Amino acid sequence: TRDQRWEMRVTTLADGRRIVHLVDRTGSYATERIRVDFVANASHELRTPLASLLGYVETLEDGAGEDPGLRERFLKIMHGEARRMQRLIDDLISLSRIEAEKYRAPDDPVALGELIDEVCLELSGVPRAGDVVTEIAEVAPVRGDASQLSQLLHNVIGNAMKYGREGTPILVSLLPEGDSMVRLSVTDQGDGIPPEHLPRLTERFYRVDAGRSRTIGGTGLGLSIVKHIVERHRGRFDIASVVGKGTTVSVLLPLAAVIKP
């Protein structure tokens, strides 16, 4: 088919006969394509705030800096653009770290309940739509990497804060799931996500509403980082959403005692 890539190799034997090998390179070709697209997208995402920063610097240099009101306004915008680049670079670094460690299963026992409390505390200074309500059951530790699980919580709870509706609570719950897993759920009462977008949310840089996500401070990398972390922890991940009602992100993680080394 059109999407298939073959590589041909020819070996000549001592008696002059030739053997033709056909090697299927479709998989590595697709991986290469994803890598090229990723670099292009990342560069584009960084170039936009950088162009804006340069524009403001030049305008200030051209004399706008002499007007104190204008100067203050421009500096504020420039600060915002620099922050955006910083968030993007932080997310890119996280993503490449997690990917580099893809084949090594993390194996520290992690008390997820405590980690949830910690992350909620860290996020308490972040502007948000409503209160965070936690419902944490006594569950055994999961086996994993505490800093990656903390990042997963940051991204998922952070999204509920960003996309939840003003004045409505965000529910974070941790419950046992059968006798070998725990279920972490984060529910908000925001605008929800139209069903056609759901399968694509974990793609890098995919956003339902790019303009809104950008002004809110999104990079479009949060959920792809979550997906990688869940995969590394041999867990499962699911997003259920109803437009106009809200979104629930669930993450299932295996208990430490269950995984064989």
Measured CA to CA in angstroms, residue 187 lies from 20, 181, 255 at distances of 57, 19, 22
Measured CA to CA in angstroms, residue 28 lies from 34, 37, 150 at distances of 10, 14, 32
- Strand pairing report for 132-136 and 170-177: parallel
Place of tokens 């909620």: 120
Applying CB under 6 A, which of residues 148, 185, 219, 251 lies at the interface with ligand ADP? 219
Give the closest residue to 127 by CA, choosing from 215, 192, 247: 215
Regarding 223 and contact with ligand ADP (CB under 6 A), the answer is yes
Using the minimum distance from each CB to ligand ADP, give the nearer residue, 170 or 252. Answer: 170
Contact 113, 153 (CB under 8 A): no
Regarding 161 and contact with ligand ADP (CB under 6 A), the answer is no
Regarding 251 and contact with ligand ADP (CB under 6 A), the answer is no
The rounded distance, in Å, linking the Cα atoms of 184 and 156 is 10
Regarding 207 and contact with ligand ADP (CB under 6 A), the answer is yes
Applying CB under 6 A, which of residues 94, 151, 185, 247 lies at the interface with ligand ADP? 247
Applying CB under 6 A, which of residues 94, 150, 151, 159 lies at the interface with ligand ADP? 159
Applying CB under 6 A, which of residues 82, 168, 209, 258 lies at the interface with ligand ADP? 209
Footprint on this chain of ligand ADP (rule: CB under 6 A): 155, 159-160, 163, 188, 190, 193, 201, 206-209, 213, 218-224, 247
